[in-house]
Amino acid sequence: MIDQHPDATRFRLDIAYDGTDFKGWARQPGLRTVQGVLEDAIARLFGRRGDEPGLTVAGRTDAGVHATGQVAHIDLLERHVDALKRQRRRDAVPQSPGEVFTRRVDGVLGRRSDVVVTSASEAPAGFDARFSASWRRYEYRVADDVTGRNPLERNTIVWRPGVLDVDAMDAAARELVGLHDFGAYCKPREGATTIRTLQDFCWRRDDAGRVIAEVRADAFCHSMVRSLVGACVAVGEGRLSAAELVQIRDAAERTSSFTVMPAHGLTLVQVGYPEDDLLAARAELTKAKRTLD
């Protein structure tokens, strides 16, 4: 069962942020984080009475990582929803409680905020932003000598000297797809599994010549995407082969054969969920211990 207060209404929030000046998603004492800034804004919105709801996120991003498609849920008590409905009745154009919430939270955050709630809506039964998710999709952006260095993109793209062999990187990435133990590409956490299903991993150049990785998995362990990207960059620079990346994966042990790439090139672009009637079942499946069977 999804843990939810019996008198609360669950809302889905879609969120975007520039991660440059955040110490990651998760609230930490004395540090500026996305969760902390958003929850403080929500507390101000509802009057700081001590019962303000907290956020549950689809995927905690690290310091410096950006998002255009982050998802979270929040359980609003009856008084919170009533406050949104009262605001709705004052509006010249009728708005749903989710629309009022979006507008008012972003009003608290300000027009130059580096985090924005792009939409909010009442969530379907069984929805859990974290456990109901079927997949997360990230993009990683690299510039090489084909693209050149653009100072306006310094916070969202990583520059590498030389010219990367994108075809070799793409071929190597596709060899890593599937259900595997990705311990060699994760920063270990005690008691946490490193078994994941890497659903899609590919590389391309966009029209401006930027080198773009698209990575999708059911979930990611700590620094997995940046490690996978770093390994493929090593292939693109001729320092590793596709076969060696597979050997590293199958060894399931951390290695110094490649460098984990910086956080600022990474963006969470989308979180996928099943049909509404499958949300609760998906959440229970996610909570089960992962195996390679």
Rg (C-alpha) for the chain, rounded Å, is: 21
Supply the angle between the helices 242-251 and 166-175 in degrees, to the nearest 10. 30
Q: Which of 265, 272, 178, 171 is nearest to 227 (CA)?
A: 265
Distances (CA, A) of 127 to 53, 68, 117, 257: 16, 20, 18, 41
| 249 three-state secondary structure | helix
Distance, first Cα to last Cα, the chain: 25
Annotated active-site residue 3? The verdict is no
The length of the chain, given as a count of residues? 293
Within 91-218, where are the H helices? 97-109, 166-175
Cα(231)–Cα(37) distance, integer angstroms: 34
User: Which residue, chain included where needed, has tokens 């054969």?
Assistant: 257
Cα dist. 116→17, 44, 47, 101, 119 in Å? 6, 16, 20, 12, 9
CB-CB contact of 286 with 131 (8 Å): yes
Nearby residues of 114 by Cβ (< 8 Å), 6 or more positions away:
17, 18, 20, 21, 22
Annotated catalytic residue, options 62, 75, 128, 144:
62
Token digits for 240? 């590793």
Query: Per-residue DSSP letters for 18-60?
Result: -GGG-S-SS--TTS--HHHHHHHHHHHHHT--S-PPPEEESSP
Active site (catalytic) residues:
62
